[in-house]
Amino acid sequence: MSTPRDLMIVALDVAPSRPLGRGDLSLALAGAEAYDLLRTGTVRLRGDRLAPLTGPGPDRLAPLPPPGPEDGLLAEAAAALVREEPYEPLPDWLWRRGRGLSSAYLAALEAEGQVTWERSRWLPFRGGRTVLSDTEARRRAAYRWAADEPVLLALAAAVGIREELTPADPAVTDDTALTVLAAVHDAVMELEAVRQRRALEAAAFANVWRGA
């Protein structure tokens, strides 16, 4: 079971509740990787002991000895971990590992025959859409989605694949998973703030240009 692969398949298979940004999805995929690496004992969370005067800092990802995960992209994630003290803060990992990660997962699914491209007859060399094949991986992801698996559900809600969670939805109770989900949520909010700031700056520049 690979949570990031299942999340990517769900993102391709389910109509989102709001426009789905690649950056948001990439951050969530990095969070899903961190969750799987923690779940399989490839890494552990260690509190930041470097900021005793300012309060606890973000948890850091401390790698553990091999063996690592069998999944190819998760193995890449494990190989990318910072292995020297004081290790990498979880939020920093999300931004570094998440850069372009949705494209990497899409390419992997396509290479495995999980996804094909359906081209438009009117635009044979441009555009088109992804089509999921009927595979065991797709059925597994659909099963986790239909079962309201809490971590998958929370990651999907964080990026807009589904509506925000309600008290009626299954809750994540594991502290480690909650730490990862909180970091993903904060990163997605930070990315949205950056988008809004850039939009305001672009609008202000356009107003100055028109007034010149």
The three-state secondary structure class of 112 is: coil
d(CA 32, CA 68): 16
pLDDT value of residue 37: 96
Residue among 132, 171, 156, 107 at smallest CA distance from 12: 132
d(CA 154, CA 146): 14
Phi, psi of 169 (to 5 degrees): -75, 150
| Per-residue pLDDT of the chain in tens (212 residues, 90 and over written 9) | 799 999 999 999 998 888 888 899 999 999 999 999 999 999 999 985 444 444 457 899 999 987 778 899 999 999 999 999 999 999 999 999 999 999 999 999 999 999 887 654 433 334 557 788 899 999 999 999 999 999 999 999 999 998 888 888 888 999 999 999 999 999 999 998 888 877 666 665 556 565 55
* 8 Å CB contact between 161 and 14: yes
Q: Could you tell me the pTM of the whole model?
A: 0.86
Strands (E), the chain: 43-48, 57-63, 88-89, 115-118, 129-132
* 8 Å CB contact between 182 and 58: no
pLDDT value of residue 50: 46
pLDDT value of residue 203: 61
